[in-house]
């Protein structure tokens, strides 16, 4: 009897969690031709959480993000937000190399995303970009900061950031991370990929390892030290192995 009640409660909780504001990836599969990239990938990111994705080059991070953004269709599996299929209008995606129209000023770029001069100026106080200059004249880091502001201005429930800190200076990086950590000024569930582990450990609540097309392991904040040790040990072992083959 007690077992039955516990089972029913557990199922109810799972159901509540399922419809709770949450990004759910279930049994996601994708292949480029005969080359499988994602194999039955499962991931849950609740609203408000920043979830880091860590993986080697070619592990499938960008493919995963393209699937989330709706540019690619999964071969199998579901991507849901609050239990409903995720739509393109629910996603803000900051690419590794964001696209900018030529001959466009920073302020014009942001106004096309959201015509709210006050919000644009407020966000730019954080980064101090020359918004009345052409974006073509910006450095890589400045372009990244502009696209970052654009991503936040969209106020969409799911944010995907692919290598957001690449090319950005130290102060800019710190500011971006500070913004991400402050839930009151940004909204939604967030998935970030980065090759720099420290940027993930400083911003994310959880970090997942993507390997062989699957989420191999997920670390909570308490276990980030273990993750860092594991990454360092893996690199060290690999180096030892290679050095042992040298004459």
Partner 1 sequence: MVTMAYFIFIRIKQAYRLLQETGWAILLVLVVVTAALWVPALDKLSQATPSQALFLSLIIGLALQLSRKDRTFLQQLALPAPLVCLADLCLLLGMPAAFLLATGNYLAALAMAGGLGAALLPPGLAAGIRTGRANLSLAVIPLFLFELRATGRQQAGGWLLTALLQAGIWLHIGFFLGTLLLGLVLLSSSFEYLEPKELLPVHHRELIRKWRRTAAIFHLFFSPAYLQVLIWQPGYFWLLVYAIAALETQLALVFFYKYALWQPGVQRLSATLYTAIGLILILLPGGILIAVPLAAWTTRRGLKRIKQWWSRS
Per CB under 8 A, residues contacting partner 1 are 69-72, 88, 91-93, 95, 97-104, 108, 111-115, 134, 136, 150-151, 154
In whole angstroms, the minimum distance from the beta carbon of 149 to partner 1 comes to 12
Long-range contact set of residues 44-48: C-beta below 8 Å, sequence gap at least 24:
45/189, 45/190, 45/191, 46/20, 46/21, 46/22, 46/189, 47/20, 47/21, 47/22, 47/157, 47/188, 47/189, 48/21, 48/183, 48/188, 48/189
Minimum CB distance to partner 1 smaller for 44 or for 98: 98
Kind of pairing, strands 76-81 and 84-85? antiparallel
Minimum CB distance to partner 1 smaller for 110 or for 227: 110
Cα 234 from Cα 169, distance rounded (Å): 28
Cα 198 from Cα 204, distance rounded (Å): 10
Minimum CB distance to partner 1 smaller for 181 or for 186: 186
In whole angstroms, the minimum distance from the beta carbon of 36 to partner 1 comes to 16
158: which strand partners? 91, 189
Minimum CB distance to partner 1 smaller for 115 or for 121: 115
Minimum CB distance to partner 1 smaller for 115 or for 234: 115
For residues 111 and 119, the answer to whether their CB atoms sit within 8 Å is no
Minimum CB distance to partner 1 smaller for 151 or for 201: 151
Which helix (H) or strand (E) is 108 found in, with range?
helix 106-113
Q: Comparing C-alpha atoms, which of 182, 184, 183, 202 is closest to residue 192?
A: 202
In whole angstroms, the minimum distance from the beta carbon of 134 to partner 1 comes to 7
In whole angstroms, the minimum distance from the beta carbon of 100 to partner 1 comes to 8
In whole angstroms, the minimum distance from the beta carbon of 232 to partner 1 comes to 29
In whole angstroms, the minimum distance from the beta carbon of 124 to partner 1 comes to 17
For residues 133 and 106, the answer to whether their CB atoms sit within 8 Å is yes
* Total residues found in the chain within this entry: 247
């Amino acid at each position: 009897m007690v077992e039955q009640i516990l089972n029913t409660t557990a199922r109810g909780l799972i159901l509540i969690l399922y419809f709770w504001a949450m990004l759910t990836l279930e049994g996601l599969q994708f292949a480029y031709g005969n080359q499988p990239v994602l194999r039955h990938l499962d991931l849950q990111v609740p609203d408000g959480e920043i979830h880091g994705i860590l993986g080697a080059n070619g592990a499938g991070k960008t493919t995963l993000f393209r699937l989330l953004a709706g540019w690619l269709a999964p071969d199998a599996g579901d991507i849901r937000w609050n239990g409903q299929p995720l739509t393109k209008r629910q996603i803000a995606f900051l690419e590794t190399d964001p696209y900018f129209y030529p001959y466009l000023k920073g302020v014009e770029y942001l106004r096309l995303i959201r015509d709210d001069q006050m919000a644009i100026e407020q966000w730019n106080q954080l980064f101090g970009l020359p918004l009345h200059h052409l974006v073509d004249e910006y450095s890589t880091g400045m372009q990244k900061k502009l696209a970052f502001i654009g991503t936040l201005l969209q106020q969409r429930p799911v944010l995907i950031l692919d290598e957001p800190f690449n090319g950005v200076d130290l102060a800019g990086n710190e500011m971006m991370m500070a913004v991400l950590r402050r839930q009151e000024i940004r909204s939604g569930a967030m998935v970030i990929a980065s090759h720099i582990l420290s940027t993930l450990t400083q911003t994310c609540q959880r970090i997942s390892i993507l390997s062989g097309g699957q989420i191999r392991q997920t670390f909570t904040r308490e276990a980030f030290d273990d993750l860092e040790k594991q990454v360092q040990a893996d690199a060290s072992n690999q180096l030892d192995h290679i050095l042992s083959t040298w004459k």
